[in-house]
Chains A and B, each alone.
With several copies, the nearest count.
Chain A
Amino acid sequence: MPGMQQGLVISHNQVNRDMFELEFIAPEIAEECQPGQFIHIKPGLRDQPLLRRPLSIYDVDKRLGSVTLLYKVVGTGTRLLTSVRTKEYVDVMGPLGRGFKLPDQPERILLVGGGVGIAPLVYLARVLEEQGCDITVLHGTESRRQLVAFEKLRQIGTDFFPATMDGTAGYKGLVTELLLKKIEPKKLDRIYTCGPEPMMAVVAEFAANHNIEAEVSLEEYMACGVGACLGCARKLKTNDTQYVKVCKDGPVFNIKEVELYK
């Protein structure tokens, strides 16, 4: 069952120009975390920003009872979050949402992350690795500096292939080009992806073409984060008559159910 807690910040590091890693202790929450779920965090204690902000579970240490978030500073809330210091508390709710559906047995898995979209894939990789899966990760970013999850993914034991637009590391160009050039679909059982929608749209096509099971993690503006406000609505397919709620029915969906923006 999700909960609400004051998480004790035990580390908070700037990992590049605009990205931070925040680790806090919240045993009840950590215990429940599934890959792909998110934490609803209140940046600052005042009314501004007013609402909580959803951030994916980047990593979990169940022994320590800690959860780690990876976030990029894009606006008011994330900027304010940067000022939290270790030994201070963050107000967190979670874990929320429907996470990734894990394979029943060890499989050959591909993870495709774009930018900060790598966040949910790291804890996913950790759990899959523990299940004995064989994991390849593609991570596309602007530049070498944004490949912030590299160390974690290497330690977890994944095969990691970066793609950077400026060519400062790995493949020079889009991660989707790398996908199409490098990955042999026959050697894959399943794909998980999170990142910009046009990127995920290419992954969806790839999965469909080769009939590979795949899941995506989506984003919408959120207020409650628990399915009560109906704010984070999305039509999975253009012709659907009903809206799903990304916070509750997602954020993870089967890629076949979703029409992605290109």
Chain B
Amino acid sequence: MKKEMEISREIDISTDLGGIKLNNPVCAASGTFGYGREYEPYVDISKIGAVIVKGTTLEPRAGNPPPRIIETASGMLNAIGLENPGINEFLNTHLPYLRENNVTVIANIAGNTIEEYAAIAEMIEGNPGVAGIELNISCPNVKQGGLQFGTDPQMVYEVVKAVKEKTTLPVMPKLSPNVTDIVEIARASEAGGADALSMINTLMGMAVDINTRKPFLANIFGGLSGPAIKPVALRMIYQVYREVKLPILGGGGIVNYRDALEFLMVGATAISVGTGIFINPQLTEEIVSNLLHYMQENNVASLSELVGAAHQA
């Protein structure tokens, strides 16, 4: 008993996500944790692995008209439309707050063109308090007629490369699952110089209001998140882990530590929770403590014993 308690103190779950140092592997996913403030009453935000802030664009965006969200079976659809105050406001208002509160911050950035991505990265450069950049490449590329960056390997390569040229921070593209071959996209990211991969963003879906006989969301389509998508997320991470050597931030439907373990075992170095936070704002904390408990009970000395474990024959 005494021995176990000692071990517990010694278990180190800090981790390195392609140069992004995390005290623990459990992060808050972009768009689900605002800029950290909103959840301050519920959780010590400085203890979260990293807070990945709301997707931020060059200019402020008003977002989509409502309804923006609707619940589905074990999931939800969202079509927020990247409402955000723009990169300046983020750097001037939100980042200082997060820095003061000792939060590990990953900036999530989005653009309509490669130049926009690069410009935002350049503006972030030099601002203390940002540990890394997550590239939301699931937005439509206006120059290419709305085709999403994240579905074309060539565009993925170019966006990553352009951003890498403008920043010294670790860069982590967030892959869209709405593709035929996720490995191809991961390889393109690697070729572009990505330091890590974030997987997965939401699946594109929709719902119909049978009373009005219209699409439920004003935007028609929305991103599906929550437990419903976990099997797809696990599969994609498993596939990519075998073929690409970059560390992976895994997420999609995690609502408890057992889910988190599945993600580690298929190959995620760290995990992110999104929708789960809406239900339980203390989820990040809870997963960390259950993870420690699990490791202790099962004599797992380090996270690396778990990462990719499901690939062993």
Within 8 Å by CB, do A and B touch in the complex?
A: yes
B-binding residues in A (CB < 8 A): 1-4, 42, 47-52, 93, 220-235, 241-243, 248
Chain B's closest residue to A77 (CB) is: B71
Which B268-305 residues have a C-beta within 8 angstroms of A? 275, 277-282
A sample of 11 more A-B contacts (CB under 8 A), given A4-B280, A50-B74, A50-B279, is: A4-B282, A50-B227, A51-B71, A220-B66, A221-B66, A221-B68, A224-B38, A228-B33, A231-B68, A234-B66, A243-B65
Shortest CB-to-CB span from A103 to chain B, Å, is 28
Known: A47-B255, A221-B70, A233-B83. A2 touches B38 (CB 8 A): no
Known: A4-B42, A221-B70, A243-B62. A230 touches B80 (CB 8 A): yes
Please, which residues of chain B bring their CB within 8 A of the CB of A232?
Answer: 66, 68-69
Q: Does B41 contact A (CB under 8 A)?
A: yes
Chain A to chain B contacts (Cβ below 8 Å), 29 pairs: A3-B42, A4-B281, A4-B282, A47-B73, A47-B74, A47-B227, A48-B74, A50-B75, A51-B278, A93-B42, A220-B67, A221-B67, A221-B68, A221-B71, A224-B278, A226-B34, A226-B281, A228-B34, A228-B38, A229-B34, A229-B78, A230-B63, A231-B69, A231-B80, A232-B68, A233-B63, A233-B68, A234-B66, A243-B65
Q: Indicate if the CB atoms of A42 and B33 lie closer than 8 Å.
A: no
Q: Indicate if the CB atoms of B227 and A243 lie closer than 8 Å.
A: no
Q: Indicate if the CB atoms of B63 and A50 lie closer than 8 Å.
A: no
Shortest CB-to-CB span from A11 to chain B, Å, is 25
Q: Indicate if the CB atoms of A242 and B62 lie closer than 8 Å.
A: yes
Shortest CB-to-CB span from B51 to chain A, Å, is 11
Q: How many residue pairs between the two chains, A and B, have CB atoms under 8 Å in the bound complex?
A: 104
> CA of A155 to CA of B41 in the docked complex: distance in angstroms?
35
A-binding residues in B (CB < 8 A): 31-34, 38-39, 41-42, 54, 62-71, 73-76, 78, 80, 83, 226-227, 255, 275, 277-282
Please, which residues of chain A bring their CB within 8 A of the CB of B282?
Answer: 4
> CA of A155 to CA of B280 in the docked complex: distance in angstroms?
37
> CA of A248 to CA of B38 in the docked complex: distance in angstroms?
9
Shortest CB-to-CB span from A201 to chain B, Å, is 18
- Of B41, B62, B73, B78, the residue contacting A3 (CB under 8 A) is B41
Chain B's closest residue to A2 (CB) is: B41
Q: Indicate if the CB atoms of A51 and B83 lie closer than 8 Å.
A: no
Chain A's closest residue to B274 (CB) is: A229
Q: Indicate if the CB atoms of B83 and A231 lie closer than 8 Å.
A: no
Q: Indicate if the CB atoms of A227 and B34 lie closer than 8 Å.
A: yes
Chain A's closest residue to B41 (CB) is: A1
Q: Indicate if the CB atoms of B78 and A223 lie closer than 8 Å.
A: yes
**Main secondary structure on B side of the interface with A:** loop
Q: Indicate if the CB atoms of A50 and B76 lie closer than 8 Å.
A: yes
- Of B33, B42, B66, B73, the residue contacting A243 (CB under 8 A) is B66
- Of A1, A49, A50, A220, the residue contacting B275 (CB under 8 A) is A50
> CA of A49 to CA of B280 in the docked complex: distance in angstroms?
14
Please, which residues of chain A bring their CB within 8 A of the CB of B227?
Answer: 47, 50
Q: Indicate if the CB atoms of B76 and A51 lie closer than 8 Å.
A: yes
Q: Indicate if the CB atoms of A229 and B70 lie closer than 8 Å.
A: no
> CA of A8 to CA of B194 in the docked complex: distance in angstroms?
50
From B42, B75, B80, B279, name the one whose CB has the most chain A CB atoms within 10 angstroms: B279
Shortest CB-to-CB span from B54 to chain A, Å, is 8
- Of A50, A224, A241, A243, the residue contacting B32 (CB under 8 A) is A224
Q: Indicate if the CB atoms of B281 and A93 lie closer than 8 Å.
A: yes
6 closest Cβ contacts across the A-B interface? A228-B34, A231-B69, A228-B38, A226-B38, A224-B278, A1-B41
> CA of A231 to CA of B54 in the docked complex: distance in angstroms?
13
From A42, A51, A232, A233, name the one whose CB has the most chain B CB atoms within 10 angstroms: A233
Please, which residues of chain A bring their CB within 8 A of the CB of B74?
Answer: 47-48, 50
> CA of A4 to CA of B76 in the docked complex: distance in angstroms?
22
Please, which residues of chain A bring their CB within 8 A of the CB of B54?
Answer: 230
Q: Indicate if the CB atoms of B39 and A226 lie closer than 8 Å.
A: yes
Chain B's closest residue to A52 (CB) is: B279
Q: Indicate if the CB atoms of A231 and B78 lie closer than 8 Å.
A: yes
> CA of A232 to CA of B65 in the docked complex: distance in angstroms?
10
> CA of A114 to CA of B98 in the docked complex: distance in angstroms?
43
Please, which residues of chain A bring their CB within 8 A of the CB of B63?
Answer: 230, 233, 243
> CA of A231 to CA of B42 in the docked complex: distance in angstroms?
20
Please, which residues of chain B bring their CB within 8 A of the CB of A233?
Answer: 63-66, 68, 80, 83
